[in-house]
Structure 1
């Protein structure tokens, strides 16, 4: 059986230890509903057919479900349970699944959770945070062009995002832009920055968060020395069929990754741009950099 969690049971949150034996099916899942901050360390999910809330989907045992019922103050026999448990459809990058969800059955408390993601809401309260860049934000030239390079001077190095793949699933007039999407066994490499709130505000504007092109998400990244940590990143909301990126964008990704990413990963990027997408001018660009076939 499956359960969708959206608050204190999510990764790196206070009650996630309950799910230590459960299998995570997706950490980019969502359901219909509106999320409020409440007045404690856990949020409140109210039914709403017009909004979505992001969270994680787990495969759990019947005994664990009983523990979660107790945690959430739910009982079939109770006339007025603290939370109510219902079955609903959960959307994931790999399709729609049925799962139990705990809804708040009373009037909302607190404020709306911006971007509908509790992990993001909690993480961005920090004065300093990690940012995982996997696309053109790896390229310092773009940051210089925008006059914000001084906000991205603390570079932690390469980060590895496991069980995701690099996709190109949002469309612009000149081609696609990069995205991360879940895929078991795959990985995405990127550059990890330590940034402050001004840099975050720039990233929200650049990634089109308010216009709903990308949304912020919190991912678990592994550094070269084996340390695991949370990081802010961005993923496309309305994923479309993948198409080739324009040359200038492919160049920015390649140029930004050369200094930090592994040789094997860079070769996979080159192969994707050359053979899969056949990006115009990319082969000539590589030759100018001394690349030999």
Structure 2
């Protein structure tokens, strides 16, 4: 059976250990609904067709389900449950699944609406840490773009090149003049640059990536630098993926300029080959 989790059961969250023997199907998953802060250190989801809640999808067995029921204080047919366990449709980069999800049953459990539907992002924005790690895989590898925007000082601390395993980089965002880079969770590998940016740099990225316009959404991934795993690194993921299309030449040059001599030679060659395959005349 499958279960969608959106709060403290997600990777690197406080109750994730309950899923240590579960199989991760999708780290980038979502469901129709609205997410609320309960004020008790965990969120609650309500059914709704107006919003989306982001989380992760796992394959679990009956033993794990029993542990989750205990965590959520859920008992079948009990009237005073905090949560209701129900079957729902879950959406991922690799299609739709049917799975279980815990939604609010006790009226008033969820107090403050989380408008973007992501518990991890909500916590980050509330905590406002002095700095955060940011993984760039597209044109944000290009320092010249930062210099032109007069924000290079926000991106001057470069941790180094790193790898994002489980994702491929493709051009799935459709702009007026062609495609833009995106990551898709398909089992591939994407290389990029890891920046250590001050918190204020987040607002520049929100604007650049069209977060409030529904273009790209902030998400969190684990990247590898050499053999060191760096968890919960911020990156961006296209909301509504379109068929892959060739990017304009100026954008292709930014990606190649930003990655040359920084990512591995093999990956750089792959970037060139993919651009040629899509019809870019480099």
Q: TM-score scaled by structure 2?
A: 0.96
Kindly state the Cα deviation for residue 123 of structure 1 after the two structures are TM-superposed: 3.2
Question: What does residue 112 of structure 2 align with?
Answer: 111
TM-score scaled to structure 1, two decimals?
0.93
Secondary structure of 1:4's counterpart equals: strand
Distance 1:171 1:99 in 2: 31
For the pair 1:227 / 2:229, whether they are aligned, the reply is yes
For 1:206, which of 200, 208, 218 is the aligned residue?
A: 208
Is contact 2:168-2:186 (8 Å) kept? yes
Q: Distance in 2 between matches of 1:87 and 1:249?
A: 43
Q: Given the superposition, is the C-alpha separation of residues 75 and 15 from structure 1 closer, same or farther in structure 2, using an over 3 Å criterion?
A: same
Counterpart in the other structure of 1:165: 168
Asked if 2 retains the 8 angstrom alpha-carbon contact of 1:34 and 1:47, the reply is yes
* Deviation sequence 1:162-209 (CA, Å, 0-9, x none): 00000111111110100001012x110110001112110000000000
Partner of 1:122: 123
Query: Which segments of 5 or more consecutive residues in structure 1 lack a partner in the other structure?
Result: 283-293
Report the Cα distance in structure 2 between the residues aligned to 1:264 and 1:100, rounded to whole angstroms: 41
- The aligned residue for residue 148 of structure 1 is 151
| Residue of structure 2 equivalent to 1:252 | 254
- 5+ long unaligned stretches in structure 2: none
Distance (Å, rounded) in 2 between the aligned partners of 1:217 and 1:163: 14
Provide the aligned length of Structure 1 versus Structure 2: 279
| Structural RMSD (CA) | 1.1
Once the two structures are superposed, the pairs formed by residues 1-293 of structure 1 within 5 Å of their partners are 1-105=1-105, 106-124=107-125, 125=127, 126-184=129-187, 186-274=188-276, 276-280=277-281, 282=282
The CA deviation string for residues 216-268 of structure 1, in whole angstroms up to 9 with x for no partner, is: 10111111242332211001101111110011111100110113211111010
How far is 1:77 from its partner? Answer: 3.2
